Every structure is written in C-alpha cells, then in structure tokens.
Amino acid sequence: MPTSTKTLSIVYHSPYGHTARVASYIAKGAEKMGVKVFLMSIEDVQWDVLDQSHGIIFGSPTYMGSVSGPFKVFMDSTSKRWMSRAWQGKMAAGFTNSGGLSGDKLSVLQQINLFAMQHGMLWTGLPLLSKGHSTSDLNRLASHLGLMTQSDNAPVDITPPEGDLKTALWFGEYIALTLQRIKD
C-alpha cells in the first residue's frame, strides 16, 4: 500500500444518514491509498483540521435542486477564509445524494464546484465512465463533475445501492492518488 503524509477532509450534511454513508465509502477508498482522512459533519466542523488539510471533499443532500439550507450556511460561514484566500490551492471535490434518479443533482455539484472555485481550490471531478445503469454498476448515474448517488426512502443499510457505494470507494481512491501527485 502506498504511504503518504497527505491529509483529506470530508465534510458533509446528512440528516438521515445516506450522504454520510457515501462519505464513509469515499473515506475508505482514500485511506486504502494511504491518505489520512478526517470525516466530519457540518454540525461538528473542525475548522483547524479543514484549514490544515491538503484537500477537502464537500457533500450535501439535494434539497429542491440545491444544496441543503444548513450546508449553505456552512458555505457562507467560510467567508473569512474566502477573503484571506486560506483554502487557495487545496484540492476540492464534491458529492451529492438525492431521492430521485436525477433529482437535479447536477445543480448541487455545480454549486459546490463554484464555491470551491471562489475559494481558488483545485477541482477534481469523477473521470470514470459509466459501466451501465443497474444498481450494481459503477457510476450508474453517469456523473463527471463529481459523485452522484441516489437513495430510496429506506434505511441506510439498504440504500444507496452497492454500485453507488463502489463508485464512492473508487472516487476516494482516485482523489487520494491525485492528491499524492501534487507537490507541496
């Protein structure tokens, strides 16, 4: 297994746990590649950890085609860091979970992407071609700006499906490998 001193934070909002489950699979993938991962919900943000991380992955459920209200509050609360360019040059990526197959998730990834660009971060997408559209397939929702997953109205041990969780794992591995290619 490759080793690295790179650190990655994953910060998410997840009232019902589905987005959190996806976050945990991204973390597993990144850890597998030797990156140190800090997983945190927006209710428990560790600002000093975010400030020190080499990369930050942002995750929100899709609410009416947008990030959730609490996630937007988190975004706005980074304004001092935006002003001081504190996060400029850090790697960034985004993910969103929704109930609908589309659910207008693209809009959420675009919002997170613009937020990261406003901060001067280095955006990483999901360069994985869809392997099909069944629930066991990698990138079944064929997203490239970031990771999209979909959950039914059911417990987190049932949904999102296997393919989405495998895609989250792949995304974490990819981000970790990309992070390790960047020189400090």
Ligand X SMILES: Cc1cc2nc3c(=O)[nH]c(=O)nc-3n(C[C@H](O)[C@H](O)[C@H](O)COP(=O)(O)O)c2cc1C
Q: Residue 62: is it exposed, middle or buried by C-beta count within 10 angstroms (0-12/13-18/19+)?
A: buried
CA pair distance 69, 84, nearest whole angstrom: 24
Q: Is 55 helix (H, G, I), strand (E, B) or coil?
A: strand
Region near ligand X per CB under 6 A, out of 46-54, 59-67, 75-83, 109-117: 59-67
Q: Is 67 helix (H, G, I), strand (E, B) or coil?
A: strand
CB-closest chain residue to ligand X:
103
Could you say whether residue 47 binds ligand X (CB under 6 A)? no
Q: What is the largest CA-CA distance in the chain?
A: 45
Contact 126, 57 (CB under 8 A): no
Among 9, 41, 62, 159, which residue sits at the site for ligand X (rule: CB under 6 A)? 62
* Residue 118: CB minimum distance to ligand X, A: 23
Among 2, 5, 16, 110, which residue sits at the site for ligand X (rule: CB under 6 A)? 16
Among 104, 125, 138, 161, which residue sits at the site for ligand X (rule: CB under 6 A)? 104
Could you say whether residue 163 binds ligand X (CB under 6 A)? no
Region near ligand X per CB under 6 A, out of 74-82, 92-100, 109-117, 130-138: 92-100
